[in-house]
Amino acid sequence: MKQSKRKVSTISDKVKCEARKLLEDACDLFESGERSRSIKLFLTAASEGSREAQVNLANIYDEGDGVKVSFDKARYWYKRAIAGGCPEAAYNLGISYLNRGDTRWAGYWLRVAKSMGDEDAGEKLKQLGG
């Protein structure tokens, strides 16, 4: 008799589901202008591994939208998302460096984004002459 296979990561699936719900709630709160509450939810979801929350949180810190601008915190969350395979995070980090006038690091992260499949990164690199 053939045995059925079990799911290996039911706890992980539950955590992912909870992180997704937190992300959605955070987005709703952010859009309604409740920055403090949304940032707390983004932080929780990002800490649980939501790449989307990590990128959103990085953008918030990078722009100072509801928090004090902190490039160090932005860079930390961008890099966490990049490590999780998120090309948008690499693109955003490249743009962040570009906005700060650091074309060397901007080019590096845009090349990373391009290598991860981000087409906009390739276009931006062409504009930069690289």
Asked if residue 11 has pLDDT above 50, the reply is no
Cα Rg of the chain, angstroms = 17
Q: What is the pLDDT of residues 26-47, one digit of tens each?
A: 889 989 999 999 999 999 999 9
Confidence of residue 14 (pLDDT cuts 50, 70, 90): low
* H-only helix segments in 32-117: 35-47, 51-63, 71-83, 87-99, 103-115
Q: What is the pLDDT of residues 93-113, one digit of tens each?
A: 999 999 999 999 999 999 999
Write phi, then psi, for 116 (nearest 5 degrees): -90, 0
Asked if residue 123 has pLDDT above 60, the reply is yes
In angstroms, the Cα distances linking 6 to 13, 17, 112 are 13, 19, 37
Q: What is the pLDDT of residue 8?
A: 40
73: which residues sit within 8 A by CB, 6+ positions away? 58, 61
Write phi, then psi, for 128 (nearest 5 degrees): -80, -5
pTM of the model: 0.84
Q: What is the pLDDT of residue 19?
A: 79
**Mean pLDDT (whole number) for 81-91:** 96
